[in-house]
Amino acid sequence: TGRHRFLRILRGHFSAINLKTTSEEMKFALLTELGFVLIQDFVTAEAEAALVDYWRPNGPVFREGCNEQHTNRRFFHYGPILPRQSFGTTRSTLNVLPARLGSMPSAVEELQLRQRIRKEAEGLGDSHLDLDQLYVNYYSAAAKGRIGFHHDHVGTMRGVVAGLSLKSHCDFELRALDAELCGQPTVSLRLPARSLYLMSGLSRYHLQHGIPLHSADRLSMTFRSVDKAGSSGSRRQWAREWSSLPPAEAAKCRWPLLPPEQQADDCKH
């Protein structure tokens, strides 16, 4: 059947990627077939230093971030308004509330990161790469920062996820949840510092990914595109100013660190 053929091919890819005798070139060719693309040296050492300095401990915005209790990472959110975590859990969420989107940090815009990522992602099947949601994570080795296996939210974010890895390399793991593959080892690959990865297709929707403990501090920047059509909310709601949200709704929000551009300009006057 089609499913048996799919599982056989997926099992074959995992086995080949994990073989020590498989060349790096072949490994990344197989990963590309799974929808995972790695671009090394995406940013220069100077650009990396500027980005790390912006979100570093004791840096200009570090105190504005929040700690994720289960994973001991500090995160900084930009773009859409998020609902606060559900009762009984401390895990962050990527559901969204319809309203105007917050702006991106100057450190991102000055380097034209989103424009450059769009160019790299051409041909991956998503022509609406606004990349208007940004999650920055600071992983402290001393705090044992990590993130468990998960799918990025598929209901509110579009089909391409882009991640920029900074400050140190890390191991990045992929696994399949199919019962028939329960004994299959995870795929583990090394993300070099300053590299960009793109996830689409199987790696985005079918496989889970996670980052285990690592020995050095690391900064990651994950860009996604809000799927307004797939999310709840009318066009009018997506045009709402933040100040127009009813108090009861606003009290349940996790606010982005920067307001929409017009509001940001108004704050200067």
- Domain-embedded: residue 187: yes
Q: From residue 161, give the alpha-carbon distance in Å to each of 12, 50, 154, 198, 249.
A: 25, 23, 10, 6, 28
Domain count within the chain: 1
Name the residue among 205, 230, 204 with its Cα closest to residue 96.
230
- Residue 84 — very low, low, confident or very high, per pLDDT cuts 50/70/90? confident
Supply the CATH number for residue 99's domain. Answer: 2.60.120.590
Domain that residue 227 falls in: 36-266
pLDDT at position 154: 74
pLDDT at position 88: 41
Answer yes or no: is pLDDT of 264 > 70.
no
- Domain-embedded: residue 130: yes
pLDDT in tens, 148-205: 888 877 778 999 999 999 999 999 999 998 888 877 779 999 999 999 999 999 999 9
Give me the residues paired with residue 211 across strands.
147
pLDDT in tens, 134-162: 999 999 998 888 888 888 777 789 999 99
User: Alpha helices of the chain — where are they, by DSSP H?
Assistant: 2-18, 24-33, 45-55, 106-110, 113-120, 201-205, 235-238, 247-250, 261-266
Identity of the amino acid at 112 = Q
- Domain-embedded: residue 23: no
Q: Quick one: average pLDDT of 206-225?
A: 93
- Domain-embedded: residue 165: yes
Task: Decide which of 1 and 35 is more confident.
Answer: 35
Q: Quick one: average pLDDT of 23-39?
A: 95
Q: Quick one: average pLDDT of 57-76?
A: 91
- Domain-embedded: residue 2: no
- Domain-embedded: residue 9: no
pLDDT at position 115: 97
Answer yes or no: is pLDDT of 92 > 70.
no
- Domain-embedded: residue 20: no
Task: Decide which of 242 and 72 is more confident.
Answer: 242
pLDDT > 70: what percent of the chain?
A: 94
